Protein backbone atom coordinates (compact mmCIF):
# COMPACT_ATOMS: atom_id res chain seq x y z
CA UNK A 1 0.00 0.00 0.00
CA UNK A 2 2.87 2.39 0.74
CA UNK A 3 4.26 1.88 -2.78
CA UNK A 4 0.84 2.46 -4.32
CA UNK A 5 0.37 5.70 -2.38
CA UNK A 6 3.91 6.71 -3.35
CA UNK A 7 2.78 6.96 -6.97
CA UNK A 8 0.72 9.98 -5.86
CA UNK A 9 3.84 12.14 -6.18
CA UNK A 10 4.01 11.38 -9.88
CA UNK A 11 0.24 11.74 -10.26
CA UNK A 12 0.21 15.16 -8.60
CA UNK A 13 3.15 16.34 -10.70
CA UNK A 14 1.49 15.05 -13.86
CA UNK A 15 -1.92 16.57 -13.11
CA UNK A 16 -0.41 19.87 -12.02
CA UNK A 17 2.11 19.93 -14.84
CA UNK A 18 0.19 18.57 -17.78
CA UNK A 19 -3.31 19.62 -16.81
CA UNK A 20 -3.20 22.95 -15.04
CA UNK A 21 -4.94 26.23 -15.80
CA UNK A 22 -3.05 26.92 -19.01
CA UNK A 23 -3.19 23.38 -20.31
CA UNK A 24 -6.92 23.08 -19.72
CA UNK A 25 -7.48 26.07 -21.97
CA UNK A 26 -4.53 25.50 -24.33
CA UNK A 27 -5.43 21.90 -25.12
CA UNK A 28 -9.09 22.74 -25.59
CA UNK A 29 -8.23 25.78 -27.73
CA UNK A 30 -5.85 23.69 -29.82
CA UNK A 31 -8.44 20.96 -30.32
CA UNK A 32 -11.07 23.50 -31.36
CA UNK A 33 -8.71 25.40 -33.66
CA UNK A 34 -6.35 22.72 -35.05
CA UNK A 35 -8.45 19.57 -34.46
CA UNK A 36 -6.02 16.72 -33.58
CA UNK A 37 -3.20 18.03 -35.76
CA UNK A 38 -1.01 18.94 -32.78
CA UNK A 39 -1.64 15.84 -30.68
CA UNK A 40 1.81 14.55 -31.65
CA UNK A 41 3.41 17.43 -29.71
CA UNK A 42 1.88 16.17 -26.46
CA UNK A 43 3.26 12.70 -27.15
CA UNK A 44 6.75 14.05 -27.92
CA UNK A 45 6.56 16.21 -24.79
CA UNK A 46 5.59 13.36 -22.46
CA UNK A 47 8.54 11.23 -23.59
CA UNK A 48 10.82 14.20 -22.95
CA UNK A 49 9.53 14.87 -19.45
CA UNK A 50 9.73 11.15 -18.63
CA UNK A 51 13.42 11.09 -19.58
CA UNK A 52 14.35 14.19 -17.61
CA UNK A 53 12.09 13.57 -14.61
CA UNK A 54 13.54 10.08 -14.23
CA UNK A 55 17.03 11.58 -14.19
CA UNK A 56 16.07 14.27 -11.68
CA UNK A 57 14.38 11.73 -9.40
CA UNK A 58 17.41 9.43 -9.62
CA UNK A 59 19.72 12.32 -8.75
CA UNK A 60 17.57 13.24 -5.75
CA UNK A 61 17.35 9.66 -4.50
CA UNK A 62 21.10 9.00 -4.75
CA UNK A 63 22.36 12.39 -3.55
CA UNK A 64 19.62 13.20 -1.07
CA UNK A 65 19.57 16.64 -2.70
CA UNK A 66 17.27 18.05 -5.41
CA UNK A 67 18.62 18.99 -8.82
CA UNK A 68 18.52 22.76 -8.32
CA UNK A 69 20.56 22.41 -5.13
CA UNK A 70 23.32 20.82 -7.23
CA UNK A 71 23.25 23.23 -10.18
CA UNK A 72 25.21 25.99 -8.46
CA UNK A 73 27.71 23.53 -7.03
CA UNK A 74 28.33 21.70 -10.31
CA UNK A 75 27.99 24.48 -12.92
CA UNK A 76 28.84 27.61 -10.95
CA UNK A 77 27.11 30.53 -9.27
CA UNK A 78 26.55 32.58 -12.45
CA UNK A 79 24.79 29.80 -14.34
CA UNK A 80 22.81 29.00 -11.21
CA UNK A 81 21.78 32.63 -10.81
CA UNK A 82 20.57 32.88 -14.43
CA UNK A 83 18.65 29.65 -13.96
CA UNK A 84 17.13 30.84 -10.70
CA UNK A 85 15.99 34.23 -12.02
CA UNK A 86 14.47 32.84 -15.23
CA UNK A 87 12.80 29.97 -13.40
CA UNK A 88 11.42 32.19 -10.64
CA UNK A 89 9.91 34.66 -13.12
CA UNK A 90 8.19 31.96 -15.17
CA UNK A 91 7.09 30.20 -11.99
CA UNK A 92 5.56 33.46 -10.72
CA UNK A 93 3.51 33.93 -13.89
CA UNK A 94 2.30 30.35 -13.63
CA UNK A 95 1.41 30.76 -9.94
CA UNK A 96 -0.64 33.87 -10.78
CA UNK A 97 -2.63 31.93 -13.36
CA UNK A 98 -3.13 28.90 -11.11
CA UNK A 99 -4.53 30.97 -8.23
CA UNK A 100 -6.85 32.75 -10.65
CA UNK A 101 -7.73 29.36 -12.16
CA UNK A 102 -8.81 27.96 -8.80
CA UNK A 103 -10.91 31.08 -8.26
CA UNK A 104 -12.48 30.67 -11.70
CA UNK A 105 -13.34 27.02 -10.97
CA UNK A 106 -15.07 28.01 -7.73
CA UNK A 107 -16.79 30.88 -9.53
CA UNK A 108 -18.22 28.49 -12.13
CA UNK A 109 -19.79 26.43 -9.36
CA UNK A 110 -20.99 29.32 -7.18
CA UNK A 111 -21.64 32.21 -9.61
CA UNK A 112 -19.57 34.50 -7.34
CA UNK A 113 -17.25 36.88 -9.19
CA UNK A 114 -13.81 35.27 -9.20
CA UNK A 115 -12.12 38.55 -8.14
CA UNK A 116 -13.73 38.15 -4.71
CA UNK A 117 -12.50 34.55 -4.49
CA UNK A 118 -8.82 35.16 -5.36
CA UNK A 119 -7.83 36.37 -1.84
CA UNK A 120 -9.58 33.37 -0.27
CA UNK A 121 -7.77 30.99 -2.63
CA UNK A 122 -4.43 32.63 -1.84
CA UNK A 123 -4.99 32.13 1.89
CA UNK A 124 -6.01 28.48 1.37
CA UNK A 125 -2.95 27.78 -0.79
CA UNK A 126 -0.69 29.32 1.84
CA UNK A 127 -2.35 27.36 4.68
CA UNK A 128 -1.92 24.06 2.84
CA UNK A 129 1.70 24.84 1.98
CA UNK A 130 2.38 25.88 5.57
CA UNK A 131 0.53 23.25 7.58
CA UNK A 132 -0.45 20.19 5.56
CA UNK A 133 2.13 17.35 5.54
CA UNK A 134 3.75 16.88 2.15
CA UNK A 135 2.61 13.30 1.57
CA UNK A 136 -0.98 14.08 2.54
CA UNK A 137 -0.98 17.11 0.23
CA UNK A 138 0.28 15.18 -2.79
CA UNK A 139 -2.16 12.31 -2.24
CA UNK A 140 -5.28 14.41 -1.67
CA UNK A 141 -4.92 16.73 -4.63
CA UNK A 142 -3.26 14.17 -6.88
CA UNK A 143 -6.10 11.71 -6.48
CA UNK A 144 -8.85 14.36 -6.64
CA UNK A 145 -7.32 15.51 -9.91
CA UNK A 146 -8.19 12.13 -11.36
CA UNK A 147 -11.75 13.45 -11.65
CA UNK A 148 -10.50 14.92 -14.92
CA UNK A 149 -10.76 11.40 -16.33
CA UNK A 150 -14.36 12.45 -17.01
CA UNK A 151 -12.98 14.02 -20.20
CA UNK A 152 -12.08 10.51 -21.39
CA UNK A 153 -15.58 9.35 -20.43
CA UNK A 154 -17.01 12.25 -22.44
CA UNK A 155 -15.03 11.19 -25.52
CA UNK A 156 -16.39 7.65 -25.15
CA UNK A 157 -19.96 8.93 -24.65
CA UNK A 158 -19.73 11.11 -27.75
CA UNK A 159 -18.93 7.92 -29.67
CA UNK A 160 -16.62 9.19 -32.40
CA UNK A 161 -15.46 7.17 -35.38
CA UNK A 162 -12.32 5.86 -33.68
CA UNK A 163 -10.54 5.05 -36.93
CA UNK A 164 -11.08 8.61 -38.15
CA UNK A 165 -9.95 10.05 -34.82
CA UNK A 166 -6.77 7.96 -34.71
CA UNK A 167 -6.08 8.69 -38.36
CA UNK A 168 -6.39 12.44 -37.74
CA UNK A 169 -3.95 12.11 -34.85
CA UNK A 170 -1.46 10.00 -36.82
CA UNK A 171 -1.49 12.17 -39.95
CA UNK A 172 -1.04 15.78 -38.77
CA UNK A 173 -1.04 18.72 -41.15
CA UNK A 174 -1.44 22.49 -41.06
CA UNK A 175 -5.17 23.29 -41.43
CA UNK A 176 -6.12 25.42 -44.41
CA UNK A 177 -7.33 28.23 -42.16
CA UNK A 178 -3.94 28.47 -40.41
CA UNK A 179 -0.35 29.06 -41.44
CA UNK A 180 2.89 27.36 -40.51
CA UNK A 181 3.81 30.10 -38.01
CA UNK A 182 0.66 29.80 -35.87
CA UNK A 183 0.92 26.01 -36.12
CA UNK A 184 4.50 26.14 -34.83
CA UNK A 185 3.62 28.66 -32.11
CA UNK A 186 0.83 26.54 -30.67
CA UNK A 187 3.06 23.49 -30.98
CA UNK A 188 5.73 25.22 -28.89
CA UNK A 189 3.07 26.20 -26.33
CA UNK A 190 1.98 22.58 -25.95
CA UNK A 191 5.60 21.41 -25.78
CA UNK A 192 6.45 24.01 -23.14
CA UNK A 193 3.40 22.98 -21.15
CA UNK A 194 4.46 19.33 -21.25
CA UNK A 195 8.02 20.08 -20.08
CA UNK A 196 7.41 23.01 -17.72
CA UNK A 197 10.51 23.55 -15.53
CA UNK A 198 8.60 23.68 -12.24
CA UNK A 199 7.62 20.04 -12.78
CA UNK A 200 11.25 19.05 -12.32
CA UNK A 201 11.83 21.39 -9.37
CA UNK A 202 8.78 20.02 -7.59
CA UNK A 203 9.40 16.38 -8.51
CA UNK A 204 13.04 16.29 -7.40
CA UNK A 205 12.40 18.38 -4.28
CA UNK A 206 9.37 16.21 -3.50
CA UNK A 207 11.56 13.11 -3.72
CA UNK A 208 13.82 14.61 -1.04
CA UNK A 209 10.77 15.63 1.02
CA UNK A 210 9.57 12.02 0.85
CA UNK A 211 13.01 10.77 1.94
CA UNK A 212 13.86 8.79 -1.19
CA UNK A 213 17.07 6.79 -1.15
CA UNK A 214 18.75 4.30 -3.47
CA UNK A 215 16.10 1.69 -2.63
CA UNK A 216 13.42 4.02 -4.05
CA UNK A 217 14.80 4.08 -7.59
CA UNK A 218 12.09 1.64 -8.63
CA UNK A 219 9.41 3.93 -7.21
CA UNK A 220 10.97 6.78 -9.17
CA UNK A 221 10.51 4.87 -12.41
CA UNK A 222 6.94 3.90 -11.52
CA UNK A 223 6.11 7.54 -10.79
CA UNK A 224 7.38 8.88 -14.10
CA UNK A 225 6.07 5.96 -16.18
CA UNK A 226 2.55 6.20 -14.73
CA UNK A 227 2.10 9.81 -13.64
CA UNK A 228 3.32 11.67 -16.70
CA UNK A 229 1.66 9.46 -19.34
CA UNK A 230 -1.56 9.84 -17.36
CA UNK A 231 -1.23 13.61 -17.59
CA UNK A 232 -0.60 13.36 -21.33
CA UNK A 233 -3.63 11.09 -21.79
CA UNK A 234 -5.80 13.64 -20.01
CA UNK A 235 -4.43 16.40 -22.24
CA UNK A 236 -5.28 14.38 -25.34
CA UNK A 237 -8.79 13.67 -23.99
CA UNK A 238 -9.38 17.41 -23.48
CA UNK A 239 -8.12 18.10 -26.99
CA UNK A 240 -10.33 15.37 -28.45
CA UNK A 241 -13.42 16.70 -26.64
CA UNK A 242 -12.86 20.15 -28.12
CA UNK A 243 -12.22 18.64 -31.56
CA UNK A 244 -15.44 16.63 -31.46
CA UNK A 245 -17.81 19.15 -29.84
CA UNK A 246 -16.47 22.68 -30.20
CA UNK A 247 -14.71 22.64 -33.60
CA UNK A 248 -17.87 21.66 -35.57
CA UNK A 249 -19.70 24.57 -33.92
CA UNK A 250 -16.82 27.01 -34.60
CA UNK A 251 -16.46 27.77 -30.88
CA UNK A 252 -13.12 29.38 -30.06
CA UNK A 253 -11.95 28.60 -26.53
CA UNK A 254 -10.94 31.74 -24.67
CA UNK A 255 -12.32 31.07 -21.18
CA UNK A 256 -12.11 28.26 -18.66
CA UNK A 257 -15.89 27.81 -18.71
CA UNK A 258 -15.77 26.76 -22.38
CA UNK A 259 -13.41 23.89 -21.56
CA UNK A 260 -16.18 22.11 -19.62
CA UNK A 261 -18.80 22.45 -22.37
CA UNK A 262 -18.04 19.11 -24.09
CA UNK A 263 -18.32 17.23 -20.78
CA UNK A 264 -21.59 18.95 -19.88
CA UNK A 265 -22.94 18.17 -23.35
CA UNK A 266 -21.94 14.50 -23.32
CA UNK A 267 -22.30 13.47 -19.66
CA UNK A 268 -24.77 16.01 -18.26
CA UNK A 269 -24.90 17.68 -14.86
CA UNK A 270 -23.12 14.87 -13.04
CA UNK A 271 -20.25 15.08 -15.51
CA UNK A 272 -20.14 18.86 -15.11
CA UNK A 273 -19.94 18.52 -11.32
CA UNK A 274 -17.12 15.98 -11.59
CA UNK A 275 -15.15 18.04 -14.09
CA UNK A 276 -15.43 21.13 -11.87
CA UNK A 277 -13.99 19.12 -8.96
CA UNK A 278 -11.20 17.91 -11.24
CA UNK A 279 -10.44 21.42 -12.51
CA UNK A 280 -10.37 22.72 -8.93
CA UNK A 281 -8.05 19.92 -7.79
CA UNK A 282 -5.72 20.23 -10.80
CA UNK A 283 -5.38 24.00 -10.58
CA UNK A 284 -5.10 23.94 -6.78
CA UNK A 285 -2.47 21.20 -7.01
CA UNK A 286 -0.56 23.26 -9.58
CA UNK A 287 -0.85 26.32 -7.32
CA UNK A 288 0.71 24.29 -4.51
CA UNK A 289 3.48 23.05 -6.80
CA UNK A 290 4.35 26.50 -8.07
CA UNK A 291 4.14 28.07 -4.60
CA UNK A 292 6.52 25.51 -3.15
CA UNK A 293 8.72 25.65 -6.25
CA UNK A 294 9.20 29.39 -5.69
CA UNK A 295 10.59 28.60 -2.25
CA UNK A 296 12.60 25.62 -3.51
CA UNK A 297 14.34 27.61 -6.25
CA UNK A 298 15.40 30.52 -4.03
CA UNK A 299 16.22 28.59 -0.86
CA UNK A 300 18.18 25.85 -2.61
CA UNK A 301 20.26 28.32 -4.59
CA UNK A 302 21.06 30.42 -1.52
CA UNK A 303 21.71 27.40 0.67
CA UNK A 304 18.88 28.06 3.13
CA UNK A 305 17.03 25.33 5.06
CA UNK A 306 13.99 24.44 2.99
CA UNK A 307 11.02 22.16 2.68
CA UNK A 308 8.08 20.84 4.69
CA UNK A 309 9.97 18.04 6.37
CA UNK A 310 10.55 20.10 9.51
CA UNK A 311 8.57 22.81 11.22
CA UNK A 312 8.10 26.23 9.58
CA UNK A 313 10.41 27.66 12.24
CA UNK A 314 13.25 25.47 10.97
CA UNK A 315 12.88 26.79 7.42
CA UNK A 316 11.56 30.29 8.08
CA UNK A 317 13.08 32.01 5.05
CA UNK A 318 11.80 29.29 2.73
CA UNK A 319 8.25 29.76 4.02
CA UNK A 320 8.57 33.55 3.79
CA UNK A 321 9.46 33.25 0.09
CA UNK A 322 6.45 30.96 -0.44
CA UNK A 323 4.15 33.38 1.40
CA UNK A 324 5.42 36.45 -0.45
CA UNK A 325 5.15 34.69 -3.81
CA UNK A 326 1.53 33.72 -3.13
CA UNK A 327 0.67 37.25 -1.97
CA UNK A 328 2.34 38.88 -4.99
CA UNK A 329 0.65 36.46 -7.41
CA UNK A 330 -2.76 37.15 -5.86
CA UNK A 331 -2.23 40.91 -6.11
CA UNK A 332 -1.17 40.54 -9.74
CA UNK A 333 -4.30 38.50 -10.40
CA UNK A 334 -6.46 41.20 -8.83
CA UNK A 335 -5.18 43.77 -11.34
CA UNK A 336 -7.57 42.25 -13.88
CA UNK A 337 -4.91 40.55 -15.98
CA UNK A 338 -6.34 37.71 -18.09
CA UNK A 339 -5.25 34.49 -16.30
CA UNK A 340 -5.56 32.46 -19.50
CA UNK A 341 -3.21 34.79 -21.37
CA UNK A 342 -0.80 34.89 -18.44
CA UNK A 343 -0.54 31.11 -18.45
CA UNK A 344 -0.22 30.88 -22.22
CA UNK A 345 2.67 33.34 -22.12
CA UNK A 346 4.23 31.54 -19.16
CA UNK A 347 4.30 28.18 -20.93
CA UNK A 348 5.63 29.72 -24.13
CA UNK A 349 8.34 31.59 -22.21
CA UNK A 350 9.14 28.43 -20.27
CA UNK A 351 9.89 26.78 -23.60
CA UNK A 352 12.50 29.47 -24.22
CA UNK A 353 14.10 28.73 -20.83
CA UNK A 354 13.99 24.92 -21.00
CA UNK A 355 17.69 24.37 -21.84
CA UNK A 356 18.66 26.20 -18.61
CA UNK A 357 16.77 23.58 -16.62
CA UNK A 358 17.44 20.36 -18.51
CA UNK A 359 21.11 20.78 -19.44
CA UNK A 360 22.24 20.71 -15.77
CA UNK A 361 20.18 17.57 -15.15
CA UNK A 362 21.92 15.80 -18.01
CA UNK A 363 25.35 16.90 -16.77
CA UNK A 364 24.78 15.80 -13.17
CA UNK A 365 23.16 12.49 -14.16
CA UNK A 366 26.40 11.62 -16.00
CA UNK A 367 28.76 12.63 -13.19
CA UNK A 368 29.95 9.59 -11.17
CA UNK A 369 30.99 11.90 -8.32
CA UNK A 370 27.28 12.46 -7.65
CA UNK A 371 25.70 9.32 -9.05
CA UNK A 372 28.33 6.70 -8.30
CA UNK A 373 29.83 4.46 -11.02
CA UNK A 374 26.73 2.24 -11.36
CA UNK A 375 23.91 4.80 -11.68
CA UNK A 376 25.04 7.28 -14.31
CA UNK A 377 23.15 7.39 -17.59
CA UNK A 378 23.62 4.56 -20.04
CA UNK A 379 24.42 5.17 -23.72
CA UNK A 380 20.84 4.68 -24.88
CA UNK A 381 19.41 7.10 -22.31
CA UNK A 382 22.12 9.63 -23.09
CA UNK A 383 21.33 9.41 -26.80
CA UNK A 384 17.63 10.10 -26.18
CA UNK A 385 18.36 12.88 -23.67
CA UNK A 386 20.81 14.53 -26.09
CA UNK A 387 18.27 14.45 -28.91
CA UNK A 388 15.75 16.15 -26.63
CA UNK A 389 18.33 18.71 -25.54
CA UNK A 390 18.87 19.63 -29.20
CA UNK A 391 15.08 19.93 -29.63
CA UNK A 392 14.92 22.16 -26.55
CA UNK A 393 17.61 24.46 -27.93
CA UNK A 394 15.82 24.74 -31.30
CA UNK A 395 12.53 25.46 -29.53
CA UNK A 396 14.20 28.09 -27.32
CA UNK A 397 15.66 29.86 -30.35
CA UNK A 398 12.34 29.84 -32.24
CA UNK A 399 10.04 30.86 -29.38
CA UNK A 400 10.43 34.64 -29.25
CA UNK A 401 10.45 35.18 -33.05
CA UNK A 402 7.28 33.11 -33.37
CA UNK A 403 5.64 35.03 -30.54
CA UNK A 404 6.36 38.28 -32.40
CA UNK A 405 5.35 37.00 -35.85
CA UNK A 406 2.04 35.51 -34.67
CA UNK A 407 1.33 38.27 -32.12
CA UNK A 408 0.98 35.71 -29.39
CA UNK A 409 -0.86 33.16 -31.52
CA UNK A 410 -3.60 35.51 -32.61
Domain ranges in the chain are: 2-406
Would the pLDDT of 240 be above 90?
yes
CA gap 79, 98 in Å, rounded: 28
Name, in order, each residue with C-beta under 8 angstroms of 295's C-beta and a sequence gap of 6 or more.
306, 318, 319, 321, 322, 325
Q: Which pLDDT belongs to residue 194?
A: 81
Stated length of the chain: 410
**Mean pLDDT value of segment 274-296:** 91
CA gap 12, 164 in Å, rounded: 32
**Mean pLDDT value of segment 139-165:** 87
Q: Which of 306, 315, 70 is nearest to 209 (CA)?
A: 306
**Mean pLDDT value of segment 12-38:** 79
Give the least confident one: 82-86, 135-139, 258-262, 357-361. 135-139
Estimate to the nearest angstrom the gap between the alpha carbon of 185 and the chain centroid.
Answer: 18
Percentage of the chain surpassing pLDDT 70? 96
- Model confidence band, residue 16 (pLDDT cutoffs 50, 70, 90): low
**Mean pLDDT value of segment 336-340:** 82
Spatial contact of 87 and 357, defined as CB atoms under 8 Å apart: yes
CATH fold, domain 2-406, is Amino acid/polyamine transporter I (1.20.1740)
Q: Which pLDDT belongs to residue 381?
A: 92
Would the pLDDT of 21 be above 60?
yes
- Model confidence band, residue 244 (pLDDT cutoffs 50, 70, 90): very high
Would the pLDDT of 197 be above 60?
yes
**Mean pLDDT value of segment 64-93:** 82
- Model confidence band, residue 212 (pLDDT cutoffs 50, 70, 90): confident
Q: Which pLDDT belongs to residue 71?
A: 77
Instruction: Count other Cβ atoms within 10 Å, centred on residue 10.
Output: 28
Amino acid sequence: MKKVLGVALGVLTAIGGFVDMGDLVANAATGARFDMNLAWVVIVGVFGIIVYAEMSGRVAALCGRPVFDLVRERLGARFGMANMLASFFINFLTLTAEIAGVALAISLASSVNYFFIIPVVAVLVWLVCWRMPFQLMERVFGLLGLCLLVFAVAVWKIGPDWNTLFSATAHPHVPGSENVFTYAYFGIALFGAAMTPYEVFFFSSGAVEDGWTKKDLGENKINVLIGFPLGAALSLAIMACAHLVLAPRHIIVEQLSQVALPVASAVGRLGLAIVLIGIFAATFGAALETSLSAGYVVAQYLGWPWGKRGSPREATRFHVVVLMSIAAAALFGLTGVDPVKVTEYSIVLSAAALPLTYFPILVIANDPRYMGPDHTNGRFLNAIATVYLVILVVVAIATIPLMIITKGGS
